[in-house]
Amino acid sequence: MDKVTQAIGGTCQNDPICSAFAGLLDNATWAPLVAVAITIVLIIMLAFVLRNLVHRIITRVVNRAATGGSITSRFRKNAVPDGIDALLHERRKQRAETMGSVLKHVASIVILGTATLTVLDRLTIPIAPLLTSVGILGVAIGFGAQELVKDFIAGMFMLLEDQYGVGDVIDAGAAVGTVEAVTLRITRLRDVDGRVWYVRNGTITRVGNESQGWSRAYVDVPVAYDTDLTKVRALLEHVAEEIWADAELRESKIVEQPQVFGVEQLSDSSLVFRIAAKTLPSAQPEVSRELRIMVKAALDTAGIALVATA
Using alpha carbons, select from 238, 280, 281, 278 the residue that is nearest to residue 257.
Answer: 278
**In the Cβ-directed half-sphere of 275, how many Cα atoms lie within 13 Å?**
28
Q: Residue 27: pLDDT band by 50, 70, 90 thresholds?
A: low
pLDDT, tens digit, 9 for 90 and up, residues 227-266: 888 898 999 999 999 888 888 887 778 888 888 987 888 8
- Is pLDDT at 80 greater than 50 in this prediction? no
Q: What is the pLDDT of residue 189?
A: 92
Residue 27 Ramachandran class (φ > 0 left, ψ -120 to 50 alpha, else beta): left
Summarised one tens digit per residue, pLDDT across range 205-227 is 888 888 777 888 888 889 888 88
User: What pLDDT was estimated at residue 29?
Assistant: 57
Yes or no: say if 170 and 209 are a contact pair by the CB < 8 Å rule. yes
Contacts of 97 (CB under 8 A, 6+ apart): 62, 66
- Rounded Cα distance between 101 and 105, Å, is 6
All domains of the chain in start order, with CATH: 2-144 (no CATH), 161-209 (2.30.30.60), 215-302 (3.30.70.100)
pLDDT score of 19 more than 50: yes
Mean pLDDT of 150-168: 82
CA nearest neighbour of 44 among 114, 100, 97, 96: 114
**Bridge partners, residue 198, by sequence:** 188
- With CA atoms as reference, report the closest residue to 264 among 253, 254, 255, 275: 275
CB contact set of 10 (below 8 Å; sequence gap of 6+): none
Please check the confidence at residue 8 and state whether its pLDDT lies above 60: no
Beta strands 208-209 and 259-266, pairing class:
unpaired
Best CA proximity match to 176, nearest among 158, 197, 155 = 197
pLDDT given for residue 1 in this prediction: 45
Q: What is the pLDDT of residue 57?
A: 92
Provide the whole-model pTM: 0.56
